[in-house]
Structure formats: C-alpha cells, structure tokens
Structure 1
Amino acid sequence: MPARLQSDKATGIGRILGRAALVGACLALAACVMPTPDTSPRPEPREAEGPPPPSAESESFARYYASVQARLVSDGMLRTDGGGVDTPFSAAQLAANFERIALYDEYALSGGRFIAQQTPSRLRRWDQPVRIQPHFGAYVDDAQQAEDRSVLSTYVSRLARVSGHPIRVVNSGGNFHVLYINRDEQRTAGDLVRQLVPGISAETVNEIQTLSRFTFCSVYAFSQAGGGSTYVAAIAIIRDEHPDLLRRSCVHEEVAQGMGLPNDSPAARPSIFNDDEEFALLTRHDELLLRILYDDRLTPGMQPDEARPIVRRIAEEVMGGPS
C-alpha cells in the first residue's frame, strides 16, 4: 500500500476484570459449601497506575510550542477570522492555487526518507465515505479528550458540507485515523499504525516515529497498491504537547490535506495551505478548494494539464464569474 505524505492503561482494567471473575467463582461455591470466614488482614486496595511522567524531551516540546504560539499570535499570525477585505482573491488565483495545492506533491520519497520536493502529480481524493476516528494517547486527560472530540466533530461536519462528500466521525471502524499523542508515544507508535493501516511501509512507520519537533503535525494518506489515485486510508499525527490554538490549527490543516489537498503554496491567501502560518483555521478560500476537489467533473488520476481547463471553469462558477 503506497503512502502519500501530505506537508500516539490497561493494567487497571485487567485487575478489575480478574477481581470480578474471582467474586463470581466464590458465589458459585457458596451455593454448595459455606467457606470458613477469612479473618486475616486485607491489603489496602491499589488504584490503577497511570502513565509515567512525560519525558524531559516531551516537556521541552510543550515549552517550545507554547513559545511558538505566543510569538505567532503577537505577530498577528494564526488568524481565526478566515480572511476579509485585506485578503481578496480572484477566480484565476483560486484556480492557480488549486493546481499547485491539489496537483503537486509537497514531499517525495528518496533513499527511504521523505524530502521536501515540489513534484507534479495527479488528482487524488476519496471515493468511499470517510470515517474519521480519533485515538488518544495515555497523556490526554478526559477534559482534553472531550474538547478534541468536539473540535473534530464540528470541523468534520463543516468539511462534509463544503465538499459534498460523506465524512463523519466514528468511535470505531475508521479509515482516517487522527492520533493525539505526545513525543514519547510517537517514538513507539509503530505497532499502532501497522494495526491501523496493514501493509504500511517501513519508511512511513519510521517517518512517523522520528518526526522532529520542527514538524508540528503531519498526515499520511494511502492508496491501494498499484499506484491508484483514490485514498483508502489516512493517519494524521497531532502532537499532544501543542497549546490550544496550534492544536486546532493542526487538526484543520492535516485533516483537510488528507482529503486530497497535499501541497502548500506561498501564493495561497487567505489559506491554511501556506507555510507562513498567517491563518490557523480553514478559510473561505480553502472551502472553495475542497468544493472544486470533489466536483464530479474532476476525476482521480487527472494530471495538471488535463484538469486545468475544468478547474478554471469551476473556479469561475464558485466565484460568480471570471475575474
């Protein structure tokens, strides 16, 4: 299954189940023979063990991302307004941005590693319904999980509406997996990602486990073996060390990229598909990119020259005319 790079305790549960089985056995025995009361001292019950404290490296990641968010916000970046009168764009610009973002790859696999390299590609997207399933590492507390689920559910509903493609959040049986994990869990995520995407390449597993702190988040979308252009699975990595806005920003960008918008462009504005970090959340411009991507007049596998005239017509339609 080829990968496409676009830009995580049960011992307490085990003890409880074991204790329940023992109680059941004693009750069955009591129906036949009354056992001699045991008056020996009982050990104090032990609470289920939680995860060990995060490593010094994970804590340093959290400090680093907090400082990055604070600096970006103070510089007027990570905007959440979706753009306005200061960010106009035309149908021609929208079409050009779509071509660069949807029909070029940001990374290429070379020597067993993904490297930054702009490469003409083919249009790729999902044909089947997308079932987005969140997975939480042991360091994500209940309150944070509830917040993450709410953010993801609201965002996925928006993506379904603007793309016209069936997308929903599920608790199991997902084909698009969003992993909220810290640095410690990232280093040992291999078994999990191999379980979620059977046949995932060793190179992709290694990439996921070794992402440096300078990669805020990432997504990997997978097609069937043989070079197909329709996605059948995806994994997004969201770092648990992120503060609130960077965390939401990563969800918005990586899930949208995993829908078939794999590249970034310095010309795209207002857009999250621009590495300048001006916008934190999906913009109106980006909604239109998704609308174009899932238009029935485009088909998976189209190359830039083939798709360009169709994209221009759709861009003019969604913008209300040529401009």
Structure 2
Amino acid sequence: MAAFRTVFGLMLLVTALAVVGNFLANPARAESIGGFSDDELMDGFQKTVFGVEYGSVAAGSSVKKFESTVLVRVINLADKDRQRQIAGFVSQLPRLVRGLDIRMAGPGDNPNFTVYVVDRADYTDTVRTDVLGTSRGAAPGQCLVRVYPGSLGIVRSTAVIVSDEGDSLFRRCMVEEILQGLGPMNDNAALYASVFNDRSRHDSFMPFDRAVVSMLYDRRIRPGMSRSEVGTLLPRVLADVRRSVR
C-alpha cells in the first residue's frame, strides 16, 4: 500500500506490505516473461511505476529511480540477524536487472538505502523514529519502505523489515521493500505474477518483476518522465529487456 506526504516541499513516499490473501492465478505463466505479452508487461510497468493507491495523483505522476550507485546499509536491531540474506539478495540484483548499479555499502561509503531489520515488538517505534521522524502516527503494514525522490532521481530510501515472524514473511518483505525502494512503488491486485501485489504469495524476485524493474532502469527511462513520455519509449525498451530477462 502506498501513501504520499509532502513535508517542507519534499515529496516523501511511503509504501507498506499488508498481506490480505493467497490469490494466485495461472502459476505456470509466472515462471518466465515469455508467458506474458508485451501489453501485459508494459501495463505492469505503468501500474507499479505510476499507480497510486492513496494520496494525490501528482505523487505518482512521474518516474522515480536512482541515477547514482545504490549503496545499501543494514542496521540490525533484531535477535535474528538477517544481514547475510539481505547482502545475498542485493548481490544478485545487478545480474538480474540490466542498468541497475547496486551493492552493499563498504567502509567509507555514504549509504543511500538503509534497511532496518527489527523484531515485531520494535517495528512501530523504528518506523516512527527512524523513518517518519515523529513520536506519533501509524506504522502501516507488516513492513515498510520510504522513498525520498528528487528532481535528479531518488535521493535515498529507508526500509523496515521484520525478522521474527517467519522466513517466508521476511523474504517477502525483503524482496518487495527493497525493490519498491528502487522506484516501482505501487501495489496492484491485478498483478498476480508479481510481488507488487499484497494478494499474491510470492516471496522471490519474479520474472515479471525483473522485467518491470529492468524497464525502469533502462538508460532511456529518466527520473521525472511522465506516463505519456515513457509510453512512447516502452515498446523499444521492452524489446531489449526481453533479450536479457528470462
């Protein structure tokens, strides 16, 4: 679920996972992007990159993506440390998403994507203090990511992922919140082959999602582009993505 706020002139975008069911249609088609038409994949891009469940239309009217290297820092506050799993997932992303430059932050780096790993008992306090910057207010969903977009691309993202409610929920939250923190922030119930759908049971980086994120990180898709500007480019972008994503 996505909610949008404007504070001191900076648009702040928050999306949270709230699992509401286990709906899955045509599971065989989810195994590769070859089972999806161009129209389905381009529609998935439009729904995740531009769609808005909550908030103003303006909040979801333009492309949001990192233009600089994404440097991921994990802050573990949970009894069960999940840093190795997150690092393993992040290490796979450059191979799975053409055009995405992402790695774990090292000594001396200035991280621009922070992932808090917490136990459920600490979730609300962490969201309020370290993400929303307030002592009050709701901490929506079972996990959450906040994106800070700027005119030249996403400035930074901050995610909060719960560690102590089972491996499946952790994987689901890790995959969805990290991916949404890269820019495709909307959730849509029509996307049955995607983690960008609270009704699906997927907890891995699905081929459908690899196509969507790869389209987003094609060099021809620029931060701030409108739906119509992107629409003229997508057929050519998707044709190239089909050659690299399986």
| TM-score interval, normalised by the smaller of the two chains | 0.7 to 0.9
1:278-300, Cα deviation, whole Å (9 max, x unpaired): 31211111111111101111111
What is the match of residue 131 of structure 1? 71
Counterpart AA for 1:216: Q
1:102-128, Cα deviation, whole Å (9 max, x unpaired): 12233327xxxxxxx896410010011
What is the match of residue 245 of structure 1? 168
What CA distance in whole angstroms lies between the structure 1 residues aligned with 2:29 and 2:139?
A: 29
Report sequence identity in percent: 23
What is the match of residue 272 of structure 1? 195
What is the match of residue 6 of structure 1? 15
1:175-194 to 2 correspondence within 5 Å?
175-189=112-126, 193=130
Q: Is 1:133–1:169's contact at 8 Å kept on the other side of the alignment?
A: yes
What CA distance in whole angstroms lies between the structure 1 residues aligned with 2:134 and 2:75?
A: 19
1:39-54 to 2 correspondence within 5 Å?
none
The alignment partner of 1:275 has SS state of coil
Q: Aligned-pair RMSD on alpha carbons?
A: 3.3
By how many angstroms is 1:157 displaced?
1.7
What CA distance in whole angstroms lies between the structure 2 residues aligned with 1:169 and 1:236?
A: 15
Distance change in 2, residues 1:133/1:192 (3 Å):
farther
1:64-115, Cα deviation, whole Å (9 max, x unpaired): x9xx89x95xx889x9x99338x93111110111011112233327xxxxxx
What CA distance in whole angstroms lies between the structure 2 residues aligned with 1:89 and 1:118?
A: 30
What is the match of residue 96 of structure 1? 43
Counterpart AA for 1:205: G
Give 1 or 2 for the bigger CA radius of gyration. 1
Establish whether residue 291 from structure 1 lines up as the match of residue 214 from structure 2: yes
What is the match of residue 122 of structure 1? 62
Q: Is 2:49–2:60's contact at 8 Å kept on the other side of the alignment?
A: no
Structure 1 portions without partners, runs of 5+: 8-64, 110-116, 195-203
What CA distance in whole angstroms lies between the structure 2 residues aligned with 1:121 and 1:207?
A: 30
Distance change in 2, residues 1:191/1:271 (3 Å):
closer
What CA distance in whole angstroms lies between the structure 2 residues aligned with 1:133 and 1:297?
A: 28
Q: Is 1:186–1:208's contact at 8 Å kept on the other side of the alignment?
A: no
What is the match of residue 144 of structure 2? 218
What is the match of residue 205 of structure 1? 133
Distance change in 2, residues 1:254/1:118 (3 Å):
farther
What CA distance in whole angstroms lies between the structure 2 residues aligned with 1:243 and 1:304?
A: 38
By how many angstroms is 1:270 displaced?
1.5
What is the match of residue 256 of structure 1? 179
Pick the aligned partner of 1:105 from 52, 55, 60.
52
Structure 2 portions without partners, runs of 5+: 1-9
1:131-184, Cα deviation, whole Å (9 max, x unpaired): 1111111xx23xx31xx2222112112222233222111266421111112344
Distance change in 2, residues 1:119/1:93 (3 Å):
farther
Counterpart AA for 2:11: P
TM-score normalised according to structure 2 size: 0.79
Q: Is 1:248–1:281's contact at 8 Å kept on the other side of the alignment?
A: yes
1:16-27 to 2 correspondence within 5 Å?
none
The alignment partner of 1:210 has SS state of coil
What CA distance in whole angstroms lies between the structure 1 residues aligned with 2:142 and 2:45?
A: 23
Distance change in 2, residues 1:88/1:191 (3 Å):
closer
By how many angstroms is 1:229 displaced?
5.5
1:162-213, Cα deviation, whole Å (9 max, x unpaired): 332221112664211111123443343378527xxxxxxxxx334996325x
What CA distance in whole angstroms lies between the structure 1 residues aligned with 2:14 and 2:230?
A: 22
Q: Is 2:192–2:200's contact at 8 Å kept on the other side of the alignment?
A: no
TM-score normalised according to structure 1 size: 0.62
Q: Is 1:103–1:122's contact at 8 Å kept on the other side of the alignment?
A: yes
What CA distance in whole angstroms lies between the structure 2 residues aligned with 1:294 and 1:160?
A: 11
